[in-house]
């Protein structure tokens, strides 16, 4: 079976006697927390946040920001040259640019990113926002451009990432199967194949643990 043909069932039941209620989608879980904290929006910075909640990841991409409104709408803010790719590959309803053409021309792009995120209407009109800053320094830069009270969203996002949605499970399983098919192509032994799968799953677990630091 080709990896691209892999699909998971939409039936929440694992068997006739064991059923597991489907958890809320990660965006809905974030919105629930936002309601509990009386937040108008969230401003999330860093590649992990953009990938997890914005569906956008680019190798060697520039610093990015993701704004999530109280209604769940997403605005992704990326470097100018990344906009076409972010529109094509990302899941955000809106993609906005910051900076100028040419990667690396501006050696300090973070103030521009913070200003662009602060100008997004959901942030500029907000009185209270959730903030996750994986890059460092952007929470304070955002504060200088926005008067809204900030609530740290990092722990909440970590807990949300611990529960995988179906699309995330598919991606993890595809990665394992790709290792499996590659090992078969190389005529690997069963022990070698098992070790590769263990290494892959261990890396996923360590990635989740390290993201909380």
Beta-carbon contacts of residue 132 (< 8 Å; ≥ 6 apart): 42, 43, 44, 45, 46, 49, 152, 153, 154, 157
- Please state, for a pLDDT cut of 90, what percent of the chain lies above it: 58
Q: Tell me the average pLDDT across 134-155.
A: 96
Which residues touch 82 (CB under 8 Å, ≥6 apart)?
A: 58, 61, 62, 64, 97
Nearest partner of 34 among 72, 84, 74, 82, judged by Cα: 72
- pLDDT, mean of residues 175-193: 66
CA atoms in the 13 A half-sphere facing the CB of 179: 17
Model confidence at 53: pLDDT above 70: yes
Global pTM exceeds 0.85: no
Question: Does the pLDDT value for residue 66 go beyond 70?
Answer: yes
The owner of tokens 């320094």 is 137
Q: Which two tokens stand for residue 61?
A: 């991409």
């Amino acid at each position: 079976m080709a990896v691209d043909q892999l699909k998971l069932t939409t039936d929440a039941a694992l068997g006739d006697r064991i059923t597991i209620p489907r958890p809320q989608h990660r965006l809905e879980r974030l919105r629930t927390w936002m309601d509990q904290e009386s937040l108008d929006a969230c401003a999330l910075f860093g590649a992990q946040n953009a990938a997890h909640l914005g569906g956008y990841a680019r190798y060697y991409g520039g610093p990015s920001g993701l704004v999530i409104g109280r209604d769940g709408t997403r605005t992704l803010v990326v470097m100018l040259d990344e906009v076409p790719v972010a529109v094509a590959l990302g899941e955000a309803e809106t993609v906005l640019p910051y900076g100028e053409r040419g990667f690396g021309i501006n050696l300090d792009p973070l103030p521009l990113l913070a200003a662009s995120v602060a100008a997004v209407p959901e942030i500029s009109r907000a009185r209270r926002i959730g903030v996750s800053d994986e890059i460092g320094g952007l929470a304070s830069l955002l504060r200088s451009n926005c008067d809204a009270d900030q609530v740290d969203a990092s722990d909440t996002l970590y807990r949300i990432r611990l529960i995988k949605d179906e699309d995330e499970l598919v991606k993890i399983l595809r990665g394992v199967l790709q290792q499996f098919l590659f090992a078969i192509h190389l005529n690997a032994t069963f022990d070698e194949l098992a070790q590769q799968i263990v290494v892959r799953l261990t890396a996923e677990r360590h990635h989740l643990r390290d993201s909380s630091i």
